[in-house]
Structure 1
Amino acid sequence: MRCPFCAHDDSQVKDSRPTEDGAAIRRRRHCVSCGARFTTFERVQLREILVIKSDGARQLFDRSKIEHSVTLACRKRGVERDRIDQLVSGIQRQVETRGESEVSSLAIGEMVMEGLRQLDSVAYIRFASVYRDFSEARDFEQFASTVREIGKE
């Protein structure tokens, strides 16, 4: 594994542990050249999936994009990192086990929305405001009223 600090091609694994309910391996590494320590994660990838964007463009599925969006939505909400990782891993599993080599960004967005709805209502509204492109306060009010109704069920 290449060192992110000095770009040397050799590093040693000092510690390996399972994370995210065994869905990944966390490895602590040490660079033999500069001595820096860094962490890597190893995850199973069942197949390469292409994401079809709304403009028709295609790009490789990137777990980190979902992770970044969910983390932003959950910022300052007290949602534990493990729960975010579990949500992202669950979405990745859903995408990979669909049996299709392509999935629309809209389908992924809906998976994220459903996961956030169950995780944290404020994070759900934050994500929806960007995903559904709210342009006025009235959009927030209408959407928030549906969230309250879900909570009453």
Structure 2
Amino acid sequence: MKCPFCGHAETQVVETRIGEDGDFIRRRRQCSACDKRFTTYERPDLTFPALVKKDGRRVEYKREKLRASMNLALRKRPVSTEQVDSAIERIEEKLFGLGLREIASSRLGELVMRELKKLDKVAYVRFASVYRSFEDIDDFKNLVDEVRK
């Protein structure tokens, strides 16, 4: 594995751990040239269903995009990276479990909202208010009332 810091081709695995659910392997590596450490993740190379947007376009699922949108909703909230990683894993397991080649992007959005609701109510409201394109304050109030129940 090439070092992301100096580009040296030789790195050593210092530590190996299996993820909580056994879905991936986390490896700590150390560069033999610059001695810096970095983490790599090894997971099965599986094909996720294509996402069908509202306008009919089909785009490929990207974990990085999902993480970025969740992190935006969780900005300045007391939720750890490990909790976000676990939520993303659960979402991806559900995507695979559906066994579909395509899925509406709205269905993915609902899965994200379900996970955010478990993690942090404020992040859930943030995401839902953008995702559902609220037209007025009453829509927002109804969502907050729903969360309070």
- TM-score of the alignment, normalized to the shorter chain, above 0.5: yes
Counterpart code for 2:142: S
Query: 1:56 is paired with a residue of what secondary structure?
Result: coil
Counterpart code for 1:101: R
User: 1:43 maps to what in 2?
Assistant: 43
User: 2:124 maps to what in 1?
Assistant: 124
Of 124-133 and 48-57, the range deviating more from structure 2: 48-57
Distance between the aligned counterparts of 2:11 and 2:56, measured in 1? 41
User: 2:139 maps to what in 1?
Assistant: 142
Distance between the aligned counterparts of 2:63 and 2:14, measured in 1? 26
User: 1:15 maps to what in 2?
Assistant: 15
The answer on whether the counterparts of 1:2 and 1:9 sit within 8 Å (CA) in structure 2 is: yes
Of 13-22 and 43-52, the range deviating more from structure 2: 43-52
User: 2:81 maps to what in 1?
Assistant: 81
Tell me the number of residue pairs that the alignment of Structure 1 and Structure 2 aligns: 149
Counterpart code for 2:145: R
Superposed CA RMSD: 2.2
User: 1:55 maps to what in 2?
Assistant: 55
Query: 1:22 is paired with a residue of what secondary structure?
Result: coil
1:31 and 1:98, CA in 2 relative to 1: closer, same or farther beyond 3 A?
Answer: same
Cα deviation digits, residues 30-77 of structure 1 (max 9, x gap): 223433321111223433432223333333221222122112212222
1:10 and 1:87, CA in 2 relative to 1: closer, same or farther beyond 3 A?
Answer: same
Counterpart code for 1:81: T
1:20 and 1:72, CA in 2 relative to 1: closer, same or farther beyond 3 A?
Answer: farther
Distance between the aligned counterparts of 1:61 and 1:146, measured in 2? 27
Cα deviation digits, residues 6-42 of structure 1 (max 9, x gap): 3333322111112343332211112234333211112
TM-score normalized by the length of structure 1: 0.81
The answer on whether the counterparts of 2:121 and 2:147 sit within 8 Å (CA) in structure 1 is: no
Of 77-86 and 43-52, the range deviating more from structure 2: 43-52
TM-score normalized by the length of structure 2: 0.83
1:4 and 1:56, CA in 2 relative to 1: closer, same or farther beyond 3 A?
Answer: farther
Counterpart code for 1:106: S
Distance between the aligned counterparts of 1:16 and 1:93, measured in 2? 23
